[in-house]
Amino acid sequence: MLFRWLFRFLLTILAAGLLATLLVIFAALVTLPSLPSLDMLTDYRPKIPLRIYSADGLLIGEFGEERRDFVKINEVPESLKQAVLAAEDDRFYQHYGVDYIGVLRAIYSNFTAGSTLQGASTITMQVARNFFLTKEKTFTRKFSEALLAFKIEHSLGKDRILELYINQIYLGQRSYGFATAAQSYFGKKLSDINLAEAAMLAGLPKAPSRYNPIANLERAKIRQQYVLRRMYELNYISADQLALAKKTSIAIHRQVKVFAMPADYVAEMVRQVVYNRYREEAYTRGIRVYTTLRKSDQEAAYRALRKGVIEYDTRHGYRGPEAFLKLPKDLKDHEALQDIMQNISNSDDILAAVVLSVTPGAVEASLKNGETIRITGDSLKVASRYLGKDPKVTEKRIRPGALIRVKKTEKNSWQITQLPEIEAALIAIDPNNGAIRALVGGFDYNLNKFNHATQAWRQPGSSFKPFIYSAALEKGFTPATIINDAPLYLGPDQTGGKAWEPRNYDGKFSGPIRMRTALTHSKNLASIRILQAIGLSYAQDYITRFGFDKKHHPAVLPMALGAGSVTPMQLAVGYATFANGGYHIPPYFIERIEDEHGKIIEQTRHTTASQNAKQVIDPRNAFLMTNMMQDVVQRGTAARARALGRNDIAGKTGTTSNAFDAWFCGYQKDLVAVTWLGFDDPKSMGNRETGGQAALPIWINYMASALKSIPVTKISPPKGIVTAKINSETGLRDPFGTLNEYFFQEQLPPETDYSFQDPGFTDQMEDWLF
């Protein structure tokens, strides 16, 4: 009887097992045809972001949802491979995609728990899920995952599967793959990590957000210790290695600065170009773009622009707190303080802070990172008006909850500052080939993404005069030509609109002066008369040689004073023509584009002065203009630039009506730089804010660094240029003249006629000569 019962029981079990097996086989036969192809794995193309580099090979920008660096399996440190196996799948090299013991353990665990499937995922199953399936915890998904794992194991070798896993897995901080995670968390190449770091990285796949060492280092260490113990238990490491790894301190890479230099505006320019060519593939193909930027130039430009803008802003006083925030009840609750400031950005070294308390001699505030600081003494002076009882600023008085800006002084103390309202731009190019060496399109890209260097159409003011003077040289004017700097009235019939009575900046008139003097001291009345003499249509056509568009420069007399519209980049290209001897050089900022394997897919073919570039003005014209603009620097409106201690600098200041815009455009034979300041919503910068006051200091600070190791060069006159002594009052050749002037050989002025003098004059002249 008992035997019969046992027989029936065993038979029932066998039948149930057979039925289950048949059901599994049936399910597999039904599911297998619907499984995806493994082409994605056999021809693995990881989503690698667009990366942008400087001419020095330094990373300046990255675009793409996934930050990823592909690494081959033979380049992965052995310690990391062992740590991953210990943490995720210690029988990886023994099973065929599914670990049956693990599966049985998981089935039992989930049966007793209720429903949700857990655990038992091998590395191969994780590869299947990451590439082809969702993360929903259902039996159907788990079954498909197992079948796919078998299929993957049948098609790929173990090392290839592990390589796919190491490069594809998400590990937090927008990092996909262990190579990128090593950079994100430790600031290291994968090949440079130690055992302790390898164990910490290997602990991330289980729950990247939970074990993120940046967010919670203590929790990450607990997971790390588990991985190390598993490595020891599996004989991957010795007891000594385990003890040493446990004691090894982990230096977490918390550096906010991801890129080698601040070049966000250029990175965005490159992104737009690459996207227009490759569309969405631009962000996944691993394209590398090498720009023309140089680190030394870009950093110098960035520092100079911010310094100049802050100096301007300081001259015009503190405007009070940006806003007022609702403080938490507990001012010691750092997390709550951080929460109320989470949407407020810092600007480099200008940090956001919320005021916690104010006393007569100190302000206590909390930074975004939760640090509490005290501002005392002289550091409060800039905001003294907003700390007192001035009834005019009562509503904006600094008080608890006020959002202020602070920065550290050279003495390492904190002081109150503010974000400037004014904007600026700086662009520097090589005039010999058009390569952009530095470009800063605004004070802070994260606060204002509008690129003022390339997109801001502004009036150039007097910085446009050199192009009119260049046209005059072609019409027979010389640097010695006398022009009357006298009052001028133009009625409505002459202007086509309102009557116009232009003035010089200083309100004074110099009378008859040489053209060189008119440019050196930026005389408006003389410049207008030059334009009248050469003709509006001629001048309008002539400026197109420098790359300007006629439609932005109407043929009216204010064109002589820069009443048209230009961008800083256009001015840089225009001045490059003077610097390189008369050639028009189109600017460029992309040197080459490479694919993910480093193969060049595009190479910029740039033009070079005196080789394949178009000569647009006579080299003698370029020389005379440079020579006259050197006077602007040595003794004119840009005399402040003499601080550079160089005599090979030429340039021109520019200030528009009511000081809406301030410019300085200057160059040395191998570098042209243009600086601009102004408000996005045009308004006066202040009565004394001229190009020489506001824009020139930025240019000087940049050039002081950019030209530091470049020797002073002498510009020799080209063939066809002659010198002669002239009379400073008449501009005529004069053997008794006190000035030497350059001329086109065919445009020498006549000699001074002394024949009208009395008979004794000839004898007196002979005495002077002999």
Q: Where are the beta strands (DSSP E) in 119-247?
A: 175-176
491 torsion bin: left (phi>0), alpha (psi -120 to 50), beta (else): beta
CA separation for the pair 171, 80 (Å, rounded): 14
The 10 Å Cβ neighbour count of residue 7 is 10
Are 131 and 15 in contact, with CB atoms under 8 Å apart? Answer: no
The one-letter amino acid code at 658 reads N
SS3 23: helix
CA separation for the pair 383, 399 (Å, rounded): 12
- Listing DSSP states for 422-435 in one string gives -EEEEEEE-TTT-B
Just list the catalytic residues: 88, 462
Are 69 and 176 in contact, with CB atoms under 8 Å apart? Answer: no
Q: Which DSSP letter does residue 756 get?
A: T
Q: How far is CA 104 from CA 110, 112, 144, 696, in A?
A: 10, 12, 17, 77
Partners of 362 in the beta sheet?
A: 359, 376
Are 253 and 21 in contact, with CB atoms under 8 Å apart? Answer: no
Strand order through the sheet with 590-594: 59-63, 50-53, 288-291, 590-594, 600-603
CA atoms within 13 A on the CB side of 697: 15
Specify the DSSP element, H or E, that contains 482.
strand 482-485
- Listing DSSP states for 551-614 in one string gives GGS-SSGGGGGT-S-B-HHHHHHHHHHHHTTSEE---B-EEEEE-TTS-EEEE-----TTTTSE
* Strand 288-291 versus strand 50-53 pairing type: parallel
